[in-house]
């Protein structure tokens, strides 16, 4: 079959022959050299030049598809963000921090109470120890009216027989120099 027979069979009154493959959607005349035989030149021009209404309809259709795709994407992303925000941690992002802060505040208050109580107890213990040390100190004994007899070298005299001819008596406030005149026994000395 010749090309004229195939072309006539296809369209009836026209024959087309092209030197390259031409896509139907782009119909660019410069990209493809198309030879068209039509009944009139106007008929040939109508067949080559794309229909404005058809092309505008395609543009509108493509815009609609693009807008639909963008709306769908925005909707999906918005739903994702809404789902994330609805989670308790993201709905109130300070929840975890507030919980930890509350625990830290409670533990800090407890530690302060424990330390304060311990300091009070230890201050009481120090006060008791200080009172005991003061009660046992020689100065406290002297303040209660007692005296301490000492040799000139500073040794304490515990027995009248150990007293040298001269010694000192330490009182709460001051020293007294003493000369031994006599020794007397007490009832306590006889029992020992």
Model-level pTM? 0.36
CA distance 9 to 5: 6
Residue 148 structure tokens:
């301490």
* pLDDT single digits (tens) 139-153: 777 888 888 899 999
Domain boundary assignment for the chain: 3-50, 57-86, 138-182
Q: Which residues of 132-144 are buried (b: 16+ CB within 10 A; e: fewer)?
A: eeeeeeeeeeeee
Question: 156 pairs with which residues across the strands?
Answer: 150
**Please, what sign has the CA dihedral across residues 63, 66, 72, 76?**
negative
Residue 185, C-beta contacts closer than 8 angstroms, at least 6 positions apart: 160
State which H helix or E strand residue 114 sits in: helix 95-136
Condensed to tens digits (0 to 9), the pLDDT of residues 150-184 reads: 999 989 988 888 889 999 999 888 899 999 888 88
């Amino acid at each position: 079959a010749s090309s004229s027979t195939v072309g006539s069979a296809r369209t009836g009154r026209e024959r087309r022959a092209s030197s390259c493959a031409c896509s139907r959607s782009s119909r660019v005349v410069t990209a493809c050299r198309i030879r068209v035989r039509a009944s009139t030149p106007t008929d040939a021009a109508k067949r080559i030049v794309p229909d404005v209404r058809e092309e505008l309809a395609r543009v509108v259709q493509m815009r609609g598809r693009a807008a639909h795709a963008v709306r769908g994407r925005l909707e999906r992303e918005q739903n994702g963000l809404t789902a994330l925000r609805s989670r308790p941690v993201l709905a109130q992002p300070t929840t975890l921090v507030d919980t930890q802060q509350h625990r830290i505040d409670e533990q800090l208050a407890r530690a302060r109470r424990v330390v304060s109580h311990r300091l009070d107890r230890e201050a009481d213990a120090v006060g008791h120890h200080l009172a005991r040390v003061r009660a046992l100190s020689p100065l406290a004994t002297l303040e209660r009216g007692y005296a301490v007899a000492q040799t000139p070298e500073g040794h304490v005299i515990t027995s009248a027989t150990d007293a040298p001819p001269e010694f000192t008596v330490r009182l709460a406030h001051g020293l007294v120099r003493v000369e031994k005149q006599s020794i007397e026994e007490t009832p306590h000395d006889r029992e020992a």
